[in-house]
Structure 1
Amino acid sequence: MSAPTARLGALLGIVGFLAVVEFTSGIIQGYYTPMLTDIARHLGVHDADVNWLEGSQLMLSALVVPAFAKLGDMIGHKRMLLISTALTAAASLALPFTDSFTVFLVAWALQGFYVVWLPLEVALIWARARAIVARTGQGAPSALTAKAAGVLVAALEAGAITGALVGGALVDALPLWIVLLVPALAIVVCFFVILFGVDESPYPAGGVFDTTGLVLVSLALVALTGGLSLLRLNGAGDPLPWLVVGAGLALLIPFALWELRRADPLIDVRMFRNPALWPVFLTAGLFGVSVLGAQAPLSTFARTDPAVHGYGLGTAGFTTSLLIGFYLVAMIVGALLFPMLARRITPRRALVLAAACVGVGFLLFLPLHDSYVQVTANMLLVGLGSGALVAALPAAAAAAAPEAQTGVATGLTNSVKTVGGAIASCVFGIALLGGATGAAGGTAGSFAGYVTVWVVCGATALLAAAALLLVPRQAFTDRPADLPIVV
């Protein structure tokens, strides 16, 4: 085997090991959903208190991604991947052995360190692909990274499907503490897969960590996400959540001013002026509205009984799980098809098409929502576009970012997507409560609220497609001048 072929083969081997990591990430994201009621009973809390678990992980993810992404660029993406996996494993191992809600909440929040895995992996693959292509003259780093990201997202969604199915089966057959131990052991295995199977990214940027910047952005993100959580809990009529959200937005100003003065900032805010990057970040935020904010409303719409409320599908739990499964399979297909489509029509046009699929899919709910087949068809279209975007956005950000900021750029796509999802979750929760009906104490969301979800998700996705049209035509493609000289 020639040396160039061996190097490219080594990169493919790293992608295979990282796919195991993303499969584990998918297990975490899908495994616990079928047993949340069992967890609430085990902890002796109301079902509504389970929302605090989601909120705590949301806040943690907003905080850790900027810090870990920057440290990955500075000292090595593999090193930060190992640290985040060790923290996730430790937190997951605590879950089976406590019946205290407070301890469980803290451990659940710390488990959220897994959110940094995909951004760090894409940055690692991009760095190694650039170095290999520069040495060998074979391949193209943007194309290699896009293909790798598609494989990783396919593994992620496969893990989510597997996790949901296995978790749902085990929780009915085994004691809860044993059921909760399963993902923890999978994460421990994942740690050793990274340790022995993944090489470090070459040429870390080094530098001095921007602690002041981290404190400023952390305060802003905590205030913003905390205010949104309060808004969802207390309602729009309470002024306190609005004041907290306003404080979070205001804190972004001194953060940006501080970063502009730094030679080695935590987040180079100048990237938001880059014509190839700002539409990607905007798309990530708008995409977060649907991919993170709309899944619960779609599930509850399917479960709503049309005989009682005049809308919904009235599906049972297993049938609803099948609907979600179809959506996740479509995401896998979309993630794997994106690199081929990008090669044929350019990455920019492929991104536009993916965002348009999401937008059209949600808007189709307006006339087509009366049958299981109609809803499934809509979700398949949304899933194709969503899978492509989940894979393509970090890869696009890495391709367009400054060389020393690839981890930060890929992490930013995750952070702004999370913020977009948090805003949408708040808005959709309020919309579904408006005019809610139902015999059981008004527990069904209002039809007007579901229409709001579909319109907002469709409109934001189409707005993202329009923003991506402003990206330079040859963005995210490989040009010889872009490749570093590696000696």
Structure 2
Amino acid sequence: MTTAEPRPADSDKLDPAVLKVAGVVVLGAVMAILDTTVVNVALQALTLEFKTSFDTIQWVVTGYMLALATVIPVTGWACDRFGSKRPYLLSIGLFLLGSMLAGMAWNIESLIAFRVLQGFGGGMLMPAGMTIMTRAAGPHRVGRVMAVLGVPMLLGPIGGPILGGWLVDAVSWRWIFYINVPIGAIAFLLAWRILPKDEPRPAEKFDFPGMLMLSPGLALLIFGVSKIPQEGGVSSVGVWLPAVAGLALIVAFVLRAGRIKNPLVDLKLFRNRTFAVAMLTMSFFILAFLGSMLLLPTYFVLVRGESALQAGLLLAPQGIGAMITMPIAGRLADKIGPGKVVLPGILVIIAGLAVFTTQVGANTPYLVLMAGLFVMGLGMGATMMPINAAALQTLTQRSVARASTTMNIVQQAGGGIGSAVMSIILASLLAGKFGVPTSQGQLAATALIMNPRTHDAAAAASADAFASTFLWALILVAVCFIPALFLPKKPAVPAEEEPEAVTA
């Protein structure tokens, strides 16, 4: 090529500089995502260690999620105002400090407090990391860098239960937090040396009233929804009161954001048709697919009697399938358009998920289940990251930080709501099978399955409840097909190359 490129990021291949940046961001993301799944496996051990109830120990997870929801909206403004490197280093530092202190916790209250500190760091890691990678690679290669960023999203759910089960059984629960210390220290040093120098922009007035609406609103909504399985339905005051209050604050934020110049989350992004369609597709996908994925370890542990470690190993085929298709899908999304990749990916997910709606039972051969997981993984690798790429490809470099923040808000809220929806569907189906209140469905199933006299009948009834829950997940994944039809089916034209069109 004889024409000089305007900047290195516009070249077609991922050059070594971009790959180094991607490696730093992936290391930070692996640390955050692994920590979430590792802690989930250790909840039973923590309950026994601190001699507390399951309701209280859940705050180890819920407190972390609420901290994430609180800090994510601020990340876009921080990356615009200070550059993305400094907020990223701050997030790693907070996460590292929270991990060290959580490992030293002396009671359940201190552990929950230090998990909240971890969440403040973890909430900034993904949106700041996405901003750094997208700016480094340029819009032509967003699909490929999103595929790279998808690796920790796959390794976390696969490796987390395996690592967590081993650490809790063979070492100590404290090491599920201490394991982050060397990873975080390396990530901090590499980020300090490798990430490009910050380019702070002229100061914009921080939307402090918007933060007082959106951050507590998201936290209250996620808190209320997360209480649904525990309370047994939406009619409980502990569910609807915080959820309604959170929704009211979010609605107030949206109404105000449309009237001010620099809102905390730029809702004008949704005027971009591609971004709006990608976010709608992502909402349904996260709600259905990730919500249902949380049920799979429960099925293996409850119905099949596997340990947490064995359940993690049985989920490995899904990650293997996704690792095969993800880099290919990222390349294709850049070359032929995300729509042509996402639509077949959704069909493949539906085919794999169908196995769990028709074949899952108390004695289903593991080979059949693992084949279904592998097919679902193939579809996931061709779906999740190309949707993210579609959302970012047509935006200006100036919009990337705010867009990354918006995407992470959608994913965090969708993941929390999806897991709660699937959990309450399962709990209500189990309760119907065993004639108990919804909040007691899983406890009743566990007690009857552990009893040798009722094991076979209870396991069969429980497996049937799981199959019906997966059917609902399949329906919601199928709904994703409708907005996905409107995703771009041609390679994106970078917005910075068409300033007039963007202005219009």
TM-score by length of 1: 0.85
The RMSD of aligned alpha carbons is: 3.0
Distance 1:388 1:100, change over 3 A: farther
- Shift in Å at residue 95 of structure 1? 1.0
Residues 244-295 of structure 1: CA deviation (Å, up to 9, x unaligned): 3223223233211211122122112122343111121122221222443223
The amino acid across from 1:106 in the alignment is A
- The answer for the alignment partner of 2:192 in structure 1 is 195
The amino acid across from 1:123 in the alignment is T
Any stretches of 5+ residues in structure 1 without a counterpart? 131-140, 306-312
Is 2:459 the counterpart of 1:461? no
Aligned pairs for 1:62-461 within 5 A: 62-112=69-119, 113-130=121-138, 141-142=139-140, 144-158=141-155, 161-178=158-175, 180-200=177-197, 202=199, 204=201, 206-236=203-233, 237-305=235-303, 313-343=304-334, 345-369=336-360, 370-434=364-428, 435-437=432-434, 440-441=446-447, 446-447=462-463, 449-461=465-477
Verify the 8 A CA contact 1:286 1:461 in the aligned structure 2.
yes
Q: Measure the CA separation in 2 of the matches of 1:293 and 1:158.
A: 17
The amino acid across from 2:180 in the alignment is P
Verify the 8 A CA contact 1:28 1:160 in the aligned structure 2.
no
Structure 1 segments of 4 or more deviating over 6 A?
2-7
Q: Measure the CA separation in 1 of the matches of 2:126 and 2:219.
A: 22
Distance 1:174 1:319, change over 3 A: closer
Verify the 8 A CA contact 1:122 1:410 in the aligned structure 2.
yes
Q: Measure the CA separation in 2 of the matches of 1:160 and 1:447.
A: 22
Tell me whether 17-26 or 91-100 shows the greater mean CA deviation.
Answer: 17-26
Any stretches of 5+ residues in structure 2 without a counterpart? 10-14, 435-443, 450-458
The amino acid across from 1:387 in the alignment is G
Alignment length, in residue pairs?
A: 465
Q: Measure the CA separation in 1 of the matches of 2:47 and 2:238.
A: 28
Distance 1:390 1:102, change over 3 A: farther
Residues 195-225 of structure 1: CA deviation (Å, up to 9, x unaligned): 1121146564642221111111123212211
Verify the 8 A CA contact 1:24 1:156 in the aligned structure 2.
no
The amino acid across from 2:375 in the alignment is L
Distance 1:23 1:178, change over 3 A: closer
The amino acid across from 2:291 in the alignment is G
The DSSP-based 3-state class of the residue aligned with 1:207 is coil
